[in-house]
């Protein structure tokens, strides 16, 4: 259930943050550490790391610009939400050698050989509060999610192709006067269009 997943993510976020604060695990990144920031006309996108799930492949945060500058004054807009764009890996984790993971890999390979679509990644777009709430979490509202198959015979690895596709999706938000107006069906069509151009 979605509620169970949100609860697990929240507890994992607390665990990772406390570990980071106490320096008990140096290899664990601070939650939502910004790795790259790109400025656009209408907003800013930030590539972040530290989302507490081993399946996280790519995480972007789109923040609309909150000030209007003209020749005489700066007008501060009302604080609004951000968009979080998450790309997660589906299937067994690459570094897992458990019997169950091996069985699942074989089953997925057999399904692909028989012509079935095997989803490799999940894309989620969430509307999130710009600031943490009183409990130390973002307030989330799921806008859109869909599973995709980024396998392309003779091409790059699915993970590389998935990263490329979601990066282009995040950059697309910079050209939108209001990325929050993108409907769920439009997110799907947009990513399908990006995927077609990558394969062309």
Q: Where are the beta strands (DSSP E) in 71-173?
A: 74-76, 82-89, 121-128, 140-148
**Burial (CB count within 10 angstroms: exposed 0-12, middle 13-18, buried 19+), residue 195:** buried
Distance CA 130, CA 127 (A): 9
Tell me the whole-structure pTM to 2 decimals.
0.78
**Rg, Å, the chain Cα set:** 19
Looking at residue 29, its pLDDT comes to 55
Looking at residue 41, its pLDDT comes to 87
SS3 2: helix
Q: What are the CA-CA distances from residue 115 to residues 7, 110, 111, 165, 196 (Å)?
A: 36, 9, 7, 23, 19
- Concatenating the DSSP letter of every residue in 22-89 gives HTS-TTSPPTTEEEEEEE-SSEEEEEEE--S-TTEEEEEEEEE--EEE-SS-EEEPPP--EEEEEEEE
73 pLDDT exceeds 50? no
Looking at residue 79, its pLDDT comes to 53
Looking at residue 2, its pLDDT comes to 55
196 pLDDT exceeds 60? yes
Residue 105 in contact with residue 91, Cβ under 8 Å? Answer: yes
Nearest to 65 by CA among 50, 53, 52, 80: 80
Looking at residue 17, its pLDDT comes to 60
Per the listing, tokens 């028989």 go with: 114
Residue 20 in contact with residue 30, Cβ under 8 Å? Answer: yes
Beta bridge partners of 46: 37, 61
135 pLDDT exceeds 60? yes
Q: For 12-65, how does the pLDDT look when each residue is reduced to its tens digit (9 = 90+)? A: 666 556 555 555 445 555 677 889 999 998 899 999 998 878 899 999 999 998
Q: For 75-105, how does the pLDDT look when each residue is reduced to its tens digit (9 = 90+)? A: 444 457 899 999 999 988 878 888 898 899 8
Q: What are the CA-CA distances from residue 29 to residues 75, 132, 183 (Å)?
A: 36, 18, 33
């Amino acid at each position: 259930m979605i509620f169970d997943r949100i609860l697990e993510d929240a507890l994992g976020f607390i665990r990772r943050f406390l570990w980071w604060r106490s320096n008990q695990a140096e290899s664990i990144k601070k939650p939502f550490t910004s790795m790259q920031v790109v400025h656009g006309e209408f907003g800013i996108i930030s590539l972040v790391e530290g989302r507490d799930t081993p399946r996280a492949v790519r995480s972007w945060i789109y923040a609309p610009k909150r000030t209007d500058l003209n020749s005489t004054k700066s007008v501060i807009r009302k604080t609004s939400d951000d968009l979080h764009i998450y790309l997660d890996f589906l299937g067994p984790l690459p570094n897992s050698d458990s019997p169950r993971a091996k069985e699942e890999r074989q089953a997925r390979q057999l399904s692909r050989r028989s012509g079935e679509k095997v989803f490799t990644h999940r894309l989620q777009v969430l509307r999130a509060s710009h600031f943490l709430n009183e409990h130390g979490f973002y307030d989330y509202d799921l806008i859109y999610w869909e599973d995709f198959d980024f396998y392309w015979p003779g091409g790059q690895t699915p993970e590389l192709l998935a990263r490329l596709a979601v990066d282009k999706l995040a950059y697309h938000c910079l050209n939108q006067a209001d990325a929050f107006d993108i409907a769920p069906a439009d997110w799907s069509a947009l990513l399908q269009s990006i995927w077609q151009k990558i394969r062309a």
